[in-house]
Amino acid sequence: MPLISRPLNALITTLALLLPVATHAADPRLCVFDLQGANGEMFNAAKDYALAMQGAGFSLTLKSYVDERVAVDDFRTGQCDAVLATAFRTRAFNPVTAATDSFGAALILRQGKVDHAAGHEVIRMASQIFNAPSAASYVVQGKYEMAGLIDVGAVYAVVRDKRMNTPEAMAGKKILAFDHDKAQAHLILKAGAQPVTADVTTFANKFNNGMADMAAAPAIAFKPLELLKGMGPQGAVCRFPYMIMSYQLIIDRTRFAPAFADTSRRYWFSHFDEVLARINKAEVALPANVWMDLSAENTPKYADFLRQTRVELTEQGVYNKQGLKLLKRIRCKLNAADQECTMPTEN
């Protein structure tokens, strides 16, 4: 018996040593932030994406998160190989591409009125540039790479008092600001208002419970967050885009094949119009009587306020100069007559 067991034990030991080598590595994990979890639109979009990427030879496993901070922290600590979250959070990994979500970075005025379609065209053109073979200086930041940009709509202010229709009227008001985004707090303080700190999981409840006079979100978030309840009978949705919000997919480049990121970016870009149609549908679905348009006098005033704030935040290192220079170039290509195109800032 001992003569038989010794070679058998040796064989088992040898197989145990070889087993990790013979086993395929686990598929990279993509962690997806969606306020509605695994039943949300963004997670469903991620499932379609994962299926398409599998067809292209890249397998992924998905994990849903309802808390964006946890999703990003898990990515930062290596528990996720990639993360799909708002640019407010992904700015830490790629501040260049996250510049798309800077105040007024996609804002185009024509004869004192907002050209909403042109704003989305700014994001489309930026995304197209990020897809170019020569775009490494934009999309690659150290070991991180932006592997997808999704336009999820213009961010509109929801106010409890429709008289909040000028930058001056914000003075003394309580305005919600994400606790992790220095830019929002800076803009609010610049207007003489008081920031009320929140995160994506708490800001709707704070607004709906009367703890703030103003919140801001894209139209696709209004229904799930029930923001119109907090608005009340004297409130309104201001049809002026503070920014165009994006989700960005960030990967740890060491965990993926070299061709993955380019294939991924092309996938999301190919669905740009499909997502934009959903955004437009969500905006149209809001009751017509909740919208408030700024006057021809106040619209340029707001635009200038955002531009000044954006420049200040760039000087403070909150916003990225390289990204904003690109976005200004795009804006001026679409609207060369704008006076900002003759200004030295953001060049």
Token pair belonging to 11: 């064989």
Give this prediction's pTM.
0.90
- pLDDT score recorded for residue 24: 42
- pLDDT score recorded for residue 224: 87
Token pair belonging to 22: 């013979």
- pLDDT score recorded for residue 58: 97
| Cβ proximity of 215 and 222 under 8 Å | no
Nearest to 303 by CA among 345, 241, 239: 241
| Cβ proximity of 73 and 24 under 8 Å | no
Distance, in Å, from the CA atom of 158 to the CA atom of 213, rounded to the nearest integer, reads 8
- pLDDT score recorded for residue 19: 42
- pLDDT score recorded for residue 14: 41
Token pair belonging to 199: 């995160």
For the chain, the first-to-last Cα distance in angstroms comes to 83
- pLDDT score recorded for residue 200: 80
Q: Which residues of the chain have pLDDT under 70?
A: 1-25
Q: What one-character-per-residue DSSP string does 242-257 give?
A: S-EEEEEEEEEGGGS-
- pLDDT score recorded for residue 180: 87
